Amino acid sequence: MEARERLREAKRVVVKVGTSTLVHASGKPDFRRMDRLVREIADLKNEGREMVLVSSGAIAIGMDRMGLREKPAEMPARQALAAIGQFSLMTLYKKFFSDYGQTAAQVLLTKENAARHHQYANSRNALLELLSMGAVPIINENDVVAVDEIKIGDNDTLSATVATLIDADALLILSDIDGLYTANPQTDKTARLIPVVREITPEIERMAGGASSSFGTGGMATKIEAAKIAVNTGVTFVIAPSEREDVIAAVLAGDSVGTVFPAKESHLNVRKGWLAFGKRIAGDIIVDEGCAEAMRLKGSSLLAAGIVSFEGDFSAGATVRVLSENHQELARGIVNYGAAELLKIAGRQSRDFTNLLDGKIHEEVIHRDNMVLMV
């Protein structure tokens, strides 16, 4: 079944909206667009779908409430504005959802909720219970207490994590551009929209504004990272224009809107989802083509002999990415060796380990049971 057709059958849907969708250029709330968004979500819920909203905007609305035009540089001030704005934002959502006969629920998450397995499982259970009660969870980062989150401001990744948590069928990120383009459409008139991305290759990442890109489209890189998380956990991912009328309904009707990233066929279990996308990435391991091929075709464990190099000062038990030599992400997993030990054994056969290492010896750098393939 094609990805667009699969979207028609999506029952559990996560929608992410950014600050620019919710506020005017003046910084004031955009009531028209908020009403349109909520009305559409409520109507889709009336169709029988389960809807989850990941919403930015707390700091911007907090700034408006306090009469500020410039975002303060001091972290405590930003956290205070997030607290003020989150209350006001939820008050607005409560009114709009109530107008359309729906019950909304506020959920604030941080990376800490995902990094610890018991919190990951508890967050999942709470969200699933809210959906079973018929509520619409409205999710945001807990910017008031999560200092690192407020620096990153990445609700794209948060929305993908939420989609993974609840085994969503689809994740729609509403953006101020139509989707992924071959170049930056704001500066290149030859840029064309890519309707379907079947595999996230290094070339696709460069188009999105990676480090080596000459035509990055601002904010698209985080959306590609979110797409990686979504598709590898069985979630169809779509970037669609927030300005379009009834855009969510159009996407879920299978219309050719935005850019769709088809989901991989099988869902990960809860532990694998947490392993790949809950824990923080501590470093990268680059492997040769033979090792990359064995992982792609056989799902093989990672052995030291195939390691070309690595980046990061990680410890044993950390989660790292495994990359090919052209920097395509192959897998994520928990390493049996820290960076200091890996420096001694990279490129070596496991039979040599006893002469190189002290303490417990592991044949695999990452065992296949502690690894999630990304290709």
Predicted local confidence at residue 150, as pLDDT: 37
Predicted local confidence at residue 115, as pLDDT: 56
Predicted local confidence at residue 165, as pLDDT: 86
Report yes or no: 236 and 7 within 8 Å, Cβ to Cβ: yes
Helix (H) or strand (E) holding 96: helix 75-99
**Which residues are annotated binding-site positions for ATP?**
16, 175-176, 217-223
Per-residue pLDDT of the chain (375 residues; tens, 9 = 90+): 688 988 999 999 999 999 989 999 999 999 999 999 999 999 999 999 999 999 999 999 999 999 998 989 888 898 899 999 999 999 999 999 999 999 999 999 876 665 565 677 788 899 999 999 999 999 998 877 665 543 434 789 889 989 988 989 999 999 988 999 988 888 888 989 999 999 888 888 888 874 333 333 348 888 998 998 888 888 999 999 999 999 999 999 999 999 999 998 654 555 556 555 666 789 999 999 999 999 988 889 999 999 999 999 999 988 899 999 998 889 988 899 999 999 999 999 989 998 999 888 999 999 988 888 887
Predicted local confidence at residue 149, as pLDDT: 40
Predicted local confidence at residue 274, as pLDDT: 58
Identity at 240, one-letter amino acid code: A
Query: What is the spatial distance between Cα 173 and Cα 260, in angstroms, rounded to a whole number?
Result: 10
**Which residues are annotated binding-site positions for substrate?**
56, 143, 155
Report yes or no: 114 and 274 within 8 Å, Cβ to Cβ: yes
Report yes or no: 54 and 16 within 8 Å, Cβ to Cβ: yes
How is residue 141 written in tokens?
């980062």
Predicted local confidence at residue 358, as pLDDT: 86
Predicted local confidence at residue 215, as pLDDT: 34
Report yes or no: 256 and 291 within 8 Å, Cβ to Cβ: no
Query: What is the spatial distance between Cα 139 and Cα 106, in angstroms, rounded to a whole number?
Result: 6
> Phi and psi of 364, rounded to 5°?
-100, 140
Task: Identify each DSSP E strand in the chain by its residue range.
Answer: 12-17, 50-55, 104-109, 136-141, 170-175, 236-241, 259-261, 281-287, 307-311, 319-323, 329-334, 371-373
How is residue 262 written in tokens?
């088809």
Query: What is the spatial distance between Cα 228 and Cα 9, in angstroms, rounded to a whole number?
Result: 21
Query: What is the spatial distance between Cα 199 and Cα 28, in angstroms, rounded to a whole number?
Result: 39
**Which residues are annotated binding-site positions?**
16, 56, 143, 155, 175-176, 217-223
How is residue 355 written in tokens?
């002469």
**Closest Cα to residue 200, out of 154, 159, 231, 179?**
231
Per the rule left: phi > 0, alpha: psi between -120 and 50, beta: everything else, 363 is alpha
Predicted local confidence at residue 118, as pLDDT: 65
**Closest Cα to residue 231, out of 159, 320, 164, 330?**
164
Query: What is the spatial distance between Cα 127 and Cα 190, in angstroms, rounded to a whole number?
Result: 43
Identity at 315, one-letter amino acid code: S
How is residue 101 written in tokens?
């006969």
How is residue 51 written in tokens?
């809807």
Count CB neighbours of 59 within 10 A.
26
Query: What is the spatial distance between Cα 102 and Cα 96, in angstroms, rounded to a whole number?
Result: 9
